[in-house]
Structure 1
Amino acid sequence: VVDPASGEELRTLEGHRNVVYAIAFNNPYGDKIATGSFDKTCKLWSAETGKCYHTFRGHTAEIVCLSFNLQSTLIATGSMDTTAKLWDIQNGEEVVMLTGHSAEIIALSFNTTGDRIITGSFDHTVAVWDVGTGRKLHTLIGHRAEISSAQFNWDCSLIVTGSMDKTCMLWNAVTGTRVATLTGHDDEVLDVCFDYTGQRIATSSADGSARVYNAETKKCIAKMEGHGGEISKICFNPQGSRILTASSDKTARLWDPHTGQCIQILEGHTDEIFSCAFNYKGDIIITGSKDNTCRIWR
């Protein structure tokens, strides 16, 4: 746990017995941290003291993705054992197990109201689940290769999915029907996201480019080209006025989502960048790299 203002290390969370692969704050509260590990456990920590509240045990293979619900009452974990589990933050108990995928789950996302969760799997499908009962409501079938990412828009009316089949698909979250297939990339789509209003979709690809689509017209409105390698992560700033991409070419880039123009290249990492994010205000960027460092940019 690091103070972004000074770069000073505040706390070290120790206890996992293997790679820590997934991590999250319980935003917007920010007082708890969840970590998911190849040791098949998830741990819940105090962000303030570093104390471990609970160790969630039950998965039979590596945990590769996790998420808090917005209400900060549940943690969802997705595993290579093909299941996802929902855990009660208060008592540390398993609430429900989501079974039905035939391959590892690599993406999951709660909707904002917390009554639905989606899971994306290497079995080429995304499933929509009822959080209260653990019942599968829809299976989103259409992609012809592994899912790379899946997300609800803010009002929970749409789901966007990205796949290794080079496409991105838009789905009606209520009915589970496909609304559109967004094409244009020449290689695997590695990441997809909505802006905060849910009006635009950004995609990043192994072809080294990123794209912005209008969620209503389903048309590509901007192409972002210039990276010299695959783009593994893409995100909008909270205001929706900038896009950030992280690439294997060792740089991150800031773009104008309206024009697709590159505004700034963030250089300094000595190996590929696999993660990037804005803070809530949108005035700080963090990047994570295979060079074993994180960098904070203002």
Structure 2
Amino acid sequence: QLQDHLYSGIKLHFDLIVKFVETLQVQLFRLKILNKEVQEEIKQLKMQLNQKKNEDEQNILRVNYQTELLEKDNAMKKIQRELQQELLKLRADIEIMKKNFIEKEKYCNEFIKTLQEKDEKLIQYIQNVSSTEEKKDNDNTPSFNPKYSSTFSFDLFCASSKLLKTFTGHTSWVWSIDYATFDCGQFLCSGSEDRTVRVWNVETAKQIQLFNGHSHHLRCVKFSPFHHHCHGVDNRYPTICSSSVDKTIRFWDFETSKEFQVLKGHTEGVAGITFSPFHNSRYLCSGSYDKTIRLWDVETSKSLHAFNGHTNCVWCVDISPLQSNDNNKSNNIGVIGGNGYTICSGSHDKTIRIWDIETAKELILFNEHENVVRSVKYSPYETNTICSGSNDYSVRLWDIRSKKAIHVFKGHTNTVWAIEFVGNNSGETAICNTNIICSGSEDNTVRFWDIRTNRQLHVIKGNGNEDNGIISLYFSLPKNKDQKNKNTDDHVCGVDLCYGSNRGPIRIWG
């Protein structure tokens, strides 16, 4: 029994062990199968991952390619827009060139027509002169017709005038020029923004003297007739008077190039100056940034009168023309012998004012300009007429008796800096009696206007960018004509036009 009991117990445990081993074998088999499935799934996942990676790389390449294509497309569109803009600009330039060509063609045709007309007039004039000379030989009648000759001379000037001389040396705006004849020759003097006063030999177009004592910009220059005629000063050489923004008026000795007299009294810069046509030019008038006009006794260097009334800078002044043929005597009426003479002034306050030179009282105010008044001149032929130029681009003619503007000349496209009556020898006896005004402008033109018909007669254009604007004007007698004109009627109008420019050159046309 014990053996049977032991056998049965061992058998039970053995069976349990066998069953456990069988169970482990089954589980191990299942695990192998599961492991195989897992490995297969891992393999599939790796394949999917590689495939996904390839797809992503392709997508990135595709995106980069599309981005590159978009950038190139934008660049091409930009180039296309630029080309279209350039094309439009070229078309506009072509249209402008066409327009300019048509205008120049029209101008050339008109100029040719004008030349033909003047040629006909010239032929007619020669015939008239020949006929008159024959008549003179026969009956000793005068051969000169003042009215016709004056008109013809201007026509001849328009048809034949050209640039004769250029004076170079100034480096900025030439605000003022003046002309004088002395025993030793013909001279120009000039004052500039470059702070220098220069004297030029007209015949050689060479600078012969330079004064650089002013500490600020020049505004006006004049040859001093007072020093030329009085006090035994050697009249072979000129004395020059200049005004400056440095608040002074200075007189310069030509030979030493030194100043020998200074007028002080203005509290701001001094602009326009002019000598009196009476009492041997002993008195000097000046306009200033301090809003006043002063009358100076050049002999004593004292300020005699201060004219108050302008509300802004006084830019330009002029004194009414000589009323007697004898300038060596005072009229002995009034404090300074200037009874009946007046001063006209132009200002930044847009007005022109007329003043009594003896009483310093304001007589008349003209206020029709729309901007700064840059130039005023009395007519040398009609004392009741003055002319003005302005920043409003206009030239105006005024009648003192009616106190109104009688003509407005429009044509300039920029500031009118300077005006002159054609043939006026700046306050002295007029070279010729004409009805023509000349104006210089920052639009780089000199224009001639007919007072009677209120129309533009002729235009001279400045020398491009080398001039860049006409700032000052003066009419002078060509060499060898001074003596001739002294012995003939003063209607003979053989003159040269001098102008100062924005960039510095001074030029003579004739």
Task: Using the TM superposition, give the Cα deviation of residue 40 of structure 1 relative to its aligned residue in structure 2, in angstroms.
Answer: 5.0
**Structure 1's 70 and 137: CA in aligned 2 closer, same or farther, altered over 3 A?**
same
The reply to whether residue 273 of structure 1 matches residue 462 of structure 2 is: no
**Structure 1's 138 and 52: CA in aligned 2 closer, same or farther, altered over 3 A?**
same
Structure in which a larger fraction of residues adopt strand: 1
Partner of 1:114: 281
> Which one of 120, 132, 137 corresponds to residue 304 of structure 2?
137
Amino acid at match of 1:67: K
Partner of 1:224: 409
Calculate the TM-score normalised by the size of structure 2: 0.50
**Structure 1's 101 and 46: CA in aligned 2 closer, same or farther, altered over 3 A?**
same
**Structure 1's 226 and 28: CA in aligned 2 closer, same or farther, altered over 3 A?**
same
8 Å CA contact 1:241, 1:257 repeated in 2:
yes
Task: Using the TM superposition, give the Cα deviation of residue 230 of structure 1 relative to its aligned residue in structure 2, in angstroms.
Answer: 2.3
**Structure 1's 233 and 5: CA in aligned 2 closer, same or farther, altered over 3 A?**
closer
8 Å CA contact 2:379, 2:385 repeated in 1:
yes
> Which one of 135, 157, 161 corresponds to residue 345 of structure 2?
161
Structure 2 gaps, min length 5: 1-159, 229-237, 323-337, 424-432, 478-492
> Which one of 190, 215, 218 corresponds to residue 63 of structure 1?
218
Partner of 1:212: 397
**Structure 1's 127 and 272: CA in aligned 2 closer, same or farther, altered over 3 A?**
same
Distance in structure 1 (CA, Å) of the matches to 2:394 and 2:509: 22
8 Å CA contact 1:106, 1:149 repeated in 2:
yes
Structure in which a larger fraction of residues adopt helix: 2
Secondary structure in 1 aligned to 2:386?
strand
Aligned residues: 291
Task: Using the TM superposition, give the Cα deviation of residue 43 of structure 1 relative to its aligned residue in structure 2, in angstroms.
Answer: 5.0
**Structure 1's 218 and 259: CA in aligned 2 closer, same or farther, altered over 3 A?**
farther
Deviations 1:133-160 (A, max 9, x none): 0111111111111112111122261111
Q: Which has the higher contact order (CA 8 A, sep 6+)?
A: 2
> Which one of 243, 253, 262 corresponds to residue 456 of structure 2?
262
8 Å CA contact 1:62, 1:79 repeated in 2:
yes
Task: Using the TM superposition, give the Cα deviation of residue 265 of structure 1 relative to its aligned residue in structure 2, in angstroms.
Answer: 3.4
Distance in structure 2 (CA, Å) of the matches to 1:251 and 1:32: 24
Partner of 1:127: 294
Distance in structure 1 (CA, Å) of the matches to 2:194 and 2:499: 25
**For structure 1, which segment, 128-137 or 21-30, has the greater mean C-alpha deviation from structure 2 after superposition?**
21-30
**For structure 1, which segment, 106-115 or 85-94, has the greater mean C-alpha deviation from structure 2 after superposition?**
85-94
Matches within 5 A, 1:64-213: 64-71=219-226, 72=228, 74-89=239-254, 94-112=259-277, 113-155=280-322, 157-197=341-381, 198-213=383-398
Distance in structure 2 (CA, Å) of the matches to 1:227 and 1:20: 19
Task: Using the TM superposition, give the Cα deviation of residue 77 of structure 1 relative to its aligned residue in structure 2, in angstroms.
Answer: 1.5
Amino acid at match of 2:313: E
Structure 1 gaps, min length 5: none
Task: Using the TM superposition, give the Cα deviation of residue 226 of structure 1 relative to its aligned residue in structure 2, in angstroms.
Answer: 2.7
**Structure 1's 286 and 52: CA in aligned 2 closer, same or farther, altered over 3 A?**
closer
**Structure 1's 89 and 173: CA in aligned 2 closer, same or farther, altered over 3 A?**
farther
Amino acid at match of 1:242: I
Calculate the TM-score normalised by the size of structure 1: 0.81
Partner of 2:186: 31
**Structure 1's 82 and 265: CA in aligned 2 closer, same or farther, altered over 3 A?**
same
Task: Using the TM superposition, give the Cα deviation of residue 229 of structure 1 relative to its aligned residue in structure 2, in angstroms.
Answer: 2.5
**For structure 1, which segment, 95-104 or 162-171, has the greater mean C-alpha deviation from structure 2 after superposition?**
95-104
**Structure 1's 47 and 207: CA in aligned 2 closer, same or farther, altered over 3 A?**
closer
Distance in structure 2 (CA, Å) of the matches to 1:9 and 1:261: 29
Task: Using the TM superposition, give the Cα deviation of residue 47 of structure 1 relative to its aligned residue in structure 2, in angstroms.
Answer: 5.0
Secondary structure in 2 aligned to 1:127?
strand
Distance in structure 2 (CA, Å) of the matches to 1:220 and 1:153: 18
- Percent identity between the two aligned chains: 27
CA RMSD of aligned residues (A): 3.3
Distance in structure 2 (CA, Å) of the matches to 1:218 and 1:122: 26
Deviations 1:83-132 (A, max 9, x none): 11223456665443211111111211111322100111111111110010
Task: Using the TM superposition, give the Cα deviation of residue 277 of structure 1 relative to its aligned residue in structure 2, in angstroms.
Answer: 3.6
Partner of 2:497: 285
Distance in structure 2 (CA, Å) of the matches to 1:219 and 1:204: 15
**Structure 1's 214 and 291: CA in aligned 2 closer, same or farther, altered over 3 A?**
same
